[in-house]
Amino acid sequence: MKDKTQMIAEMKTIIKPYVQDQEAFESLNENTHFIDDLKVNSANLVDIILDIEDKYDIEIDNDSMEKMLNVKAALEVVEEKIGDSGIPRNPESKG
C-alpha cells in the first residue's frame, strides 16, 4: 500500500487540470474540498473520479462517488477499493 503523502501527490496530478483556484491547489491537503476550495465544477469532478479509476485500476460505485467531495474522502475510497479488488478489472473493457 502506498503512503498517504505519495497518494496525495498522485491525486494532485490528477486534479490539477480541473482546478480553477490555483492558490487553493498549492496548499492542497486532506481537508481540501474539490468544489468549495478548488472551484472544480461538478462535471469536472466526474472527470476526476474517472481519472482516479484509470490511475488505480478500480471501479467507483455511485455511493462512493457521492462521498468523494474532498481529498481525504477520495483517498479513503481509493484505499478501500484497492483493498477490495482482489481481482483487477479487465483493462480491455475501457470504452
Q: What is the CATH number of domain 4-85?
A: 1.10.1200.10
Give how far Cα 29 sits from Cα of 20, 43, 55, 57, 72, Å: 16, 22, 20, 23, 8
Q: Among 65, 71, 69, which Cα is nearest to 35's? A: 69
pTM: 0.82
* The C-alpha cell that represents 65 in the structure block: 462517488
| pLDDT tens, per residue, the chain with 95 residues | 578 899 999 999 999 999 999 999 999 999 999 999 999 999 999 999 999 999 999 999 999 999 999 999 999 999 999 987 554 444 444 44
Helices (H) and strands (E) in the chain, counts: 5, 0
Q: Where are the domains of the chain?
A: 4-85
Element spanning 60, H or E: none
